[in-house]
């Protein structure tokens, strides 16, 4: 019986590491774009995380109908700025900007605003596709606030400046196991894990 092969439609090494951990108990073979030598970059011109996740999943699934594809879109939303940067969380700083630059710009714009004005949340939408069909979707949200300064070297992206509700340390300080228990991506994956497990038990494609 063939094992299910699931393509992770991202080049973000941090996301890939998280998905490997979040799906480690599902008997499937994870395939990365690097494994395939893929350079396809679908346009992320949707107006919501869900739309962008579907666009990415659909684009890769149409090109590789032999694989099931998982794609996501996620972002950081600051309450005081009406949800900015949101779906533009990676692109708002311009081409070539790295995670450190984006964190610095977020902290700079917030300045020394007090805690009530530092409320934020992470949002994630995931979509699984095969061929030209979206098979299942999931979403997750993690509420919290933005720290006054970076702390911690774990995780990726905005983790070193984000403090989840009920914690005093940033996600960058929590450690991968704890982050994967509470994160927006973990909550989204929880909604599709049973589907993937069932597909895997059926033998994949």
Q: What is the pLDDT of residues 161-174, one digit of tens each?
A: 999 999 999 999 99
**Domain map of the chain by residue range?**
4-201
Higher model confidence: residue 85 or residue 44? Answer: 85
Average pLDDT over residues 118-125: 98
Q: Is 60 exceeded by the pLDDT of residue 71? A: yes
Percent of the chain with pLDDT over 70: 97
Instruction: Write down the pTM of the prediction.
Output: 0.93
Tell me the per-residue pLDDT of 2-23, one tens digit each, with 9 for 90 and over: 789 999 999 999 999 999 999 9
Q: Half-sphere exposure of 106 toward its Cβ, with a 13 Å CA cutoff?
A: 37
Beta strand segments in the chain, E: 4-8, 28-32, 68-78, 84-85, 119-130, 133-146, 162-164
Catalytic residue among 73, 82, 99, 159: 73
Fold category of 4-201 in CATH: Maf protein (3.90.950)
Asked if the model's pLDDT at residue 35 lies above 60, the reply is yes
Beta bridge partners of 169: none
pLDDT score, position 152? 95
Of 70, 89, 69, give the one whose Cα is nearest residue 78: 89
pLDDT at 129: 98
Over residues 131-148, the pLDDT tens digits come to 989 999 999 999 999 999
- Is 73 among the catalytic positions? yes
What integer pLDDT is reported at residue 1 of this predicted model? 56
């Amino acid at each position: 019986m063939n094992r299910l092969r699931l393509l992770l439609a991202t080049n973000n090494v941090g996301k890939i590491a998280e998905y490997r951990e979040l799906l480690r108990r599902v008997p499937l073979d994870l395939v990365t774009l690097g494994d395939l030598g893929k350079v396809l970059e679908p346009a992320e011109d949707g107006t919501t995380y869900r739309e962008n996740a579907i666009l990415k999943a659909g684009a890769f699934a149409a090109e590789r109908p032999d694989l099931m594809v998982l794609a996501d879109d996620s972002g950081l939303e600051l309450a005081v700025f009406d949800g900015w940067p949101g779906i533009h969380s990676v692109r708002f700083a311009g081409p070539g900007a790295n995670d450190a630059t984006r964190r610095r710009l977020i902290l700079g714009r917030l300045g020394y605003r007090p805690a009530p004005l530092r409320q934020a949340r992470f949002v994630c939408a995931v979509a699984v596709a095969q061929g030209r069909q979206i098979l299942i979707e999931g979403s997750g949200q993690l509420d919290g606030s933005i720290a006054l300064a970076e702390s911690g070297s774990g995780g990726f992206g905005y983790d070193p400046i984000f403090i989840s509700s009920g914690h005093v340390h940033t996600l960058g300080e929590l450690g991968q196991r704890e982050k994967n228990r509470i994160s927006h991506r973990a909550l989204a994956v929880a909604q599709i894990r049973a589907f993937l497990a069932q597909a895997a038990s059926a033998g994949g494609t």
